[in-house]
């Protein structure tokens, strides 16, 4: 049986852990509010970019652009961008995504389709490297402010494998934020960047300034950037939410453990007092 000193030491240790998890929960709650504001703004911007691009594409059937055109009826290589967190302590946030991502890769390989991996986040990179997969490009410890600068330089999007017709499509996998306590593993097509549900409007077109090709090129690149940035911000919000919930559960577990240890300590102390009283009574009877 543990001594009183050992139990007190354990209680002190759990109390310190509880203070840390409680502080992390409060920090995550503050970060979540900011992340949600960025996510809402990014969703609105992405929606507007896709609306404008869809309007342009609906007025012309002969638009060709490497970011908008795919390789129809060709089952070729797929570029997969995996967005995970750089840090842990966020419950099953990464585990669920990595499991479904590996299933996606195995499914494509069974169909004879090569999958090229791009990791945005330390957890995804480390997981697939341990599994023996090759990571073609990685971005680790990137902040919200740095992400766009890094993505603009990534040749996978503007002049890389898709433009050179080395891959048929590019897919993003990430955790989509649904609510403060819920996120959903989502696979989203990044390239070709054609918006869905385009209704063609023949005979009606815009006046383009400076010219149509430049506008289409700009909007195509902006659609790709917006879609990827939104996925990243969505993932950040989901990660922050998952960490807040995980820290809340950890704090509750710490409080429960302290209660249990306190009860155990009281029983041990009562047992020690009872033993001392028995010794005193026994000694008194021996002297009488």
Place of tokens 């992390």: 24
Which SS3 state, helix, strand or coil, does residue 155 take?
A: coil
**What's the whole-number average pLDDT of the chain?**
80
The pLDDT value given to residue 158: 45
Closest CA to 82 of 65, 100, 62, 70: 100
Question: Average pLDDT for residues 47-53, to the nearest whole number?
Answer: 86
Question: What is the per-residue pLDDT across 17-48, written as a single tens digit (0 to 9) for each?
Answer: 888 888 888 888 888 888 888 888 988 988 88
CA 128 to chain centre: 16
Give the residue ranges of DSSP H helices in the chain. 4-57, 93-110, 122-130, 147-153, 212-287
pLDDT at position 101 is 92
- pLDDT at residue number 159: 43
pLDDT for res 197: 62
Question: Is 66 a residue whose pLDDT tops 80?
Answer: no
Task: Give the residue from 135, 139, 167 showing the smallest Cα distance to 153.
Answer: 139
Q: Is the pLDDT of residue 250 over 70?
A: yes
| Digit-coded pLDDT (tens) for 103-115 | 999 988 888 888 8
How far is CA 18 from each of CA 23, 68, 248, 254, rounded to the nearest angstrom? 8, 52, 10, 6
For 114-141, the pLDDT digits (tens) are: 888 988 888 988 899 998 888 888 888 8
Domains of the chain by range and CATH? 22-246 (3.40.1380.10)
- Among 39-43, 140-144, 229-233, the least confident range: 140-144
Query: What mean pLDDT is predicted for residues 263-283?
Result: 74
At 94, phi and psi to the nearest 5? -80, -35
Burial category of 287 from C-beta neighbours within 10 Å (exposed 0-12, middle 13-18, buried 19 and up): exposed
Q: Which residues of 227-251 are buried (b: 16+ CB within 10 A; e: fewer)?
A: bbbbbbbbbbbbbbbbbbbbbbebb
Say which residue, 265 or 46, is predicted with more confidence: 46
Q: What is the DSSP secondary structure assignment for residue 223, as one 8-state letter?
A: H
Choice between 178 and 147, residue whose per-residue pLDDT is larger: 178
Query: DSSP string covering 52-112, please?
Result: HHHHHHTT-S----TTT---TT----EEEEEE--SS--STTHHHHHHHHHHHHHHHHHHTT
C-alpha–C-alpha distance, residues 219 and 235, integer Å: 24
């Amino acid at each position: 049986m543990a001594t009183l000193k050992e139990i007190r030491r354990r209680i002190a240790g759990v109390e310190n852990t509880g203070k840390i998890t409680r502080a992390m929960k409060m920090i995550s709650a503050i970060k979540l509010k900011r992340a949600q504001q960025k996510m809402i703004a990014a969703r609105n911007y992405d929606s507007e970019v896709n609306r404008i691009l869809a309007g342009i594409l609906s007025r012309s059937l002969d638009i060709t652009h490497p970011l908008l055109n795919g390789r129809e009826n060709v089952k070729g290589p797929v570029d997969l961008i995996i967005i995970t967190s750089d840090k842990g302590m966020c419950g099953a946030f990464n585990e669920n995504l990595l499991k479904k991502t590996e299933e996606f890769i195995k499914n494509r390989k069974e169909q004879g389709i090569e999958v090229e991996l791009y990791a945005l986040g330390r957890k995804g990179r480390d997981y697939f490297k341990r599994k023996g997969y090759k990571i073609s490009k990685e971005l680790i410890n990137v902040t919200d402010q740095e992400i766009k600068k890094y993505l603009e330089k990534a040749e996978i999007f503007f002049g890389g494998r898709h433009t050179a017709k080395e891959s048929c499509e590019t897919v993003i996998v990430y955790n989509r934020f649904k609510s403060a306590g819920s996120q959903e593993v989502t696979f989203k097509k990044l390239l070709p960047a054609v918006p869905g549900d385009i209704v063609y409007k023949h005979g009606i077109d815009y006046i383009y300034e400076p010219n149509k090709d430049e506008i289409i090129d700009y909007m195509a690149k902006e659609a790709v950037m917006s879609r990827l940035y939104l996925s990243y911000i969505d993932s950040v919000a989901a990660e922050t939410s998952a960490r807040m919930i995980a820290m809340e559960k950890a704090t509750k577990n710490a409080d429960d453990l302290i209660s249990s240890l306190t009860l155990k300590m009281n029983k041990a102390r009562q047992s020690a007092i009872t033993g001392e009283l028995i010794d005193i009574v026994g000694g008194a009877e021996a002297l009488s």
